[in-house]
Structure 1
């Protein structure tokens, strides 16, 4: 059985619903807080860079989930 790539949904513009900008901001604020914590407690290193990049990826994916999967659409 082939995995459904959900291409139409992934490559379609999703204008934000009324509650989505606040949700995006919460996700970004949480990501920024975690990234700042990592910068504070971790030594400068390739691992720190990867950790911050992972937070960045998580924020982008979370915002994509909000955009693509919200009930308002």
Structure 2
């Protein structure tokens, strides 16, 4: 059995303190999202930047959920 696969594909109930970490990450990402919207012209590139920011938050949350 591969422990990494097992860990990556199971439900990780939030542990004490984790929801606050998720909130902090989302708030900082939201600040950056608004800055990107303000400074960058509407374009494919801005859309990609927003998508990648969302992706970064999801992976950061996964790092907390999977490894704490």
Normalization by structure 1: what TM-score? 0.87
User: Which structure 1 residue ranges, 5 or more long, are not aligned?
Assistant: none
Aligned-pair distance for 1:5? 8.1
* Runs of 5+ unmatched residues, structure 2: none
Distance 1:40 1:29 in 2: 17
RMSD of aligned Cα (Å)? 1.4
The structure with more helix, counted as a fraction of residues: 2
Deviating beyond 3 angstroms after TM superposition, the runs of 4 or more aligned structure 1 residues are none
After TM superposition, the score normalised by the length of structure 2 is 0.93
